[in-house]
Chains A and B, each alone.
Chain A
Amino acid sequence: MPHILSHDVIDKAVVVERNLVNRFIARRLTRCRVAKSLESIDLDSIDVGIVLTPSASHYELTSRLLNAGIHCFVEKPMSVTWRESAELCRLAAEKGVTLRVGYVYRWNPVFRHLKGLLESGSLGHPCSASLAMRGNVVGPSSKTTWRSSGPGSGCLFDFGSHMVDLAVFLFGSFDSIDSVKGESVYTQGGVDRFSARLLRQATPPEVATVTADWSDESARKALVEVRVQFDSATIVATPQVIKISRDGTEDEISISDLDTDVSFYLRGEDFASQWDDFFEEVRSKHRLNQVVSIPDDVVDRLLEMIDRELG
């Protein structure tokens, strides 16, 4: 919320929260108007809707806002099924409003630089890639919450979906998957770590392997690593640094070498960049009636395929 409320484009905000205690906290902390449900708000007075609720509610809330002609930001995953996500994309296009999904690693300066490197072709065509994310979201004493139980939850949707999206962001769309593996560590009936290969039809086939483990107690915070193999070079990238190895030498590009200016910084540039860009597009759309960006449903299609294989 600080990233949103700090933005100078915000004139007034309403927090919608079903839980009584959370409504009390929101009222005390934010001084915003706080409502119990969308029904108690006049949607005609709203320009932007931000959906930060459990995944299972994303489709219902986002579709209501889009139908009212409201620009939307929805936390990841867009919805819990491919069909619902495709419908949201279609609805946004029909209404001519912005729809964004909160895959925040797209806004990390290092990964954006990596994308530029890949698109330049200066290292050639990648042979293979791997994207790995580790964290200690669940542990031996973790309680069951909406993040670990229910539709659109678990390591795949709530955590590892970042890696599927990052693979699509960096390398483009993929057609199919294989070699899906999953393992339960602490979550009964759920998957706490998984891996899958994303495939694109080409000659030779292009492959990105994604792995995610949200039960790694050694990880102080979420750790992400992207490895890209070329014919004569290797790239290893984290959110802080890119290391390029070729011909026996190693080059490094650190986040401190890149442009990291954001309007309001809190816990990293990524979130702020994401919001800066979203609000700028909404403001431009109002001013210039420009075409808005709408995500496609590629990531959601891949997530559904992996989910089916994980059972």
Chain B
Amino acid sequence: MNVIFGDNQFLGVEHSGRKVAEYVEAFRSKQQIIDTLRLAWDAGLREYAFTATPTMLNVVRAISEECPFILHPAFPYAQAVNKKLADMGFLGAFADVVRSSSVWAVFGAAVTSLRHDYRRALDLYVRYELRGINWDRVSSIGLLNVATDFLLGLRREDILDQFCSVVRQQYGKTPVLYTMNFPRLAASVWQEDRHGARLIFNFNEKGFRTNPSLNAVVNAVEAHRGREIYIMSLYSGRGKTDPHEFLARHPGIRGVLFGSSNPVRIGENYRALASLKSENGTQGYAYASHR
């Protein structure tokens, strides 16, 4: 079981609504984020998945020598996109991306885009979002659910396929698609699975935000065993799902993303799952909860 430390707590994201204010207060400064990442590193975590905001890119640069995490950046940051679109409009936001690239690169992307080949444009966009990152430490490049599900809803799975193609072939990294609609996306992306895409989604036994239904998600996990299935761990409501029991019932899950603000819990949960093995035989790391 591959375990990756996530950044929801740093962004003040907590889906049950109970701890949002606590997270926003706890992670106001870059230093607070760095301190928590140091704790995660000391606990044994070696991989970090994060939304590629300017702040977070600065943070990973700042700790890269002390804590050389394997990086799993993803974008776009929804709030920043909303603000840009609201402030600048679609063309203004687009111009902002274009300004960061060379004229020839933009020209080439525009020409190919007219022929419905968006790979050059997507390449420009990846470079824009991940400017300044240490590429040697990057293992995967992800598209967050705000973009993945936007394109899925518009029935533009072809653009998602082109994104995966760019990440795999141009950058040699694993393409990752975050989604809140796993069954639908899995059926589309893994019909051929030409790029070995990893899908990351919510999965919890209570069925909180497992769309369109918990049953549909369970069936899809079973149907796609052997694929790169990763879940974001969420405690839905009160009570605790025992991680061993949960994962034993769903052996198709290859990896888990979690986030925690509690330094003690990070270590406790890491040790609790150290013996877990996934179906492909990978040794387990840790599984932690939003507690």
* Interface hit among B42-50, B208-216, B222-230, B280-288: B208-216
User: How many whole Å from A226's CB to the nearest CB in chain B?
Assistant: 13
| B87 pairs with A241, CB closer than 8 A | no
In the assembly, what is the distance between CA of A151 and CA of B152, in Å?
35
| A255 pairs with B16, CB closer than 8 A | yes
Tell me which residues from 156 to 185 in chain B have a Cβ below 8 Å from any Cβ of chain A: 156, 180-181, 184
In the assembly, what is the distance between CA of A160 and CA of B146, in Å?
25
In the assembly, what is the distance between CA of A257 and CA of B154, in Å?
30
Give the number of residues in A that approach B within 8 Å (Cβ atoms). Answer: 38
| A1 pairs with B153, CB closer than 8 A | yes
Q: Most chain-B Cβ atoms within 10 A of its Cβ — which of A29, A137, A256, A267? A: A256
Q: Which of B18, B113, B151, B156 meets A254, CB within 8 Å?
A: B18
Tell me which residues from 1 to 39 in chain A have a Cβ below 8 Å from any Cβ of chain B: 1-3, 5-6, 21-22, 25, 28-31
Asked whether A5 and B154 contact (CB < 8 A) given A21-B91, A240-B16, A265-B181, the answer is yes
* Interface status of A186 (Cβ within 8 A of chain B): no
Chain B residues with Cβ below 8 Å from A262 are: 211-212
Tell me which residues from 53 to 89 in chain B have a Cβ below 8 Å from any Cβ of chain A: 78-79, 82-83, 86-87
Chain B residues with Cβ below 8 Å from A240 are: 15-18, 20
* Interface status of B291 (Cβ within 8 A of chain A): no
| B91 pairs with A221, CB closer than 8 A | no
Counted as pairs of residues, one from A and one from B, with CB atoms less than 8 Å apart, the total is 102
| A241 pairs with B150, CB closer than 8 A | no
Return the CB mask of A216-231 against B: 1 if under 8 Å, else 0. 0000110000000000
Tell me which residues from 86 to 130 in chain A have a Cβ below 8 Å from any Cβ of chain B: none
In the assembly, what is the distance between CA of A5 and CA of B214, in Å?
23
Give the number of residues in B that approach A within 8 Å (Cβ atoms). Answer: 42
Chain A residues with Cβ below 8 Å from B18 are: 240-241, 252, 254
| A266 pairs with B206, CB closer than 8 A | no
**B210 closest partner in A (C-beta):** A261
Chain B residues with Cβ below 8 Å from A143 are: 87
In the assembly, what is the distance between CA of A25 and CA of B208, in Å?
35
Chain A residues with Cβ below 8 Å from B206 are: 256
| B15 pairs with A263, CB closer than 8 A | no
Asked whether A6 and B15 contact (CB < 8 A) given A261-B213, A264-B181, A267-B146, the answer is no
Asked whether A137 and B209 contact (CB < 8 A) given A6-B153, A29-B154, A264-B153, the answer is no
Chain B residues with Cβ below 8 Å from A252 are: 18
* Interface status of A141 (Cβ within 8 A of chain B): yes
Chain B residues with Cβ below 8 Å from A267 are: 78, 146
Chain A residues with Cβ below 8 Å from B151 are: 2
Return the CB mask of A237-271 against B: 1 if under 8 Å, else 0. 01111000000000010111100111111110100
| B212 pairs with A264, CB closer than 8 A | yes
| B15 pairs with A29, CB closer than 8 A | no
Tell me which residues from 1 to 35 in chain B have a Cβ below 8 Å from any Cβ of chain A: 12, 15-18, 20
| B181 pairs with A5, CB closer than 8 A | no
| B149 pairs with A256, CB closer than 8 A | no
Asked whether A6 and B17 contact (CB < 8 A) given A254-B237, A261-B212, A264-B184, the answer is no
Chain A residues with Cβ below 8 Å from B78 are: 267
In the assembly, what is the distance between CA of A309 and CA of B158, in Å?
52
| A256 pairs with B211, CB closer than 8 A | no
The DSSP consensus for interface residues of chain A is loop
| A256 pairs with B16, CB closer than 8 A | yes
User: How many whole Å from A271's CB to the nearest CB in chain B?
Assistant: 11
Chain B residues with Cβ below 8 Å from A40 are: none
User: How many whole Å from B122's CB to the nearest CB in chain A?
Assistant: 14
| B180 pairs with A265, CB closer than 8 A | yes
| B152 pairs with A256, CB closer than 8 A | no
Chain B residues with Cβ below 8 Å from A241 are: 16-18
* Interface status of A179 (Cβ within 8 A of chain B): no
| A263 pairs with B208, CB closer than 8 A | no
User: How many whole Å from B84's CB to the nearest CB in chain A?
Assistant: 12
* Interface status of B207 (Cβ within 8 A of chain A): yes
Chain B residues with Cβ below 8 Å from A5 are: 153-155
Chain A residues with Cβ below 8 Å from B146 are: 266-267
* Interface status of B278 (Cβ within 8 A of chain A): no
Chain A residues with Cβ below 8 Å from B17 are: 238-241, 254-256
Q: Could you jot down 15 A-B contacts, CB within 8 Å?
A: A2-B154, A28-B113, A136-B83, A139-B87, A220-B79, A240-B20, A241-B17, A256-B16, A256-B206, A256-B209, A260-B207, A261-B212, A261-B213, A265-B181, A266-B149
The 4 A-B pairs of least Cβ separation, nearest first, read A2-B153, A240-B17, A241-B17, A6-B153
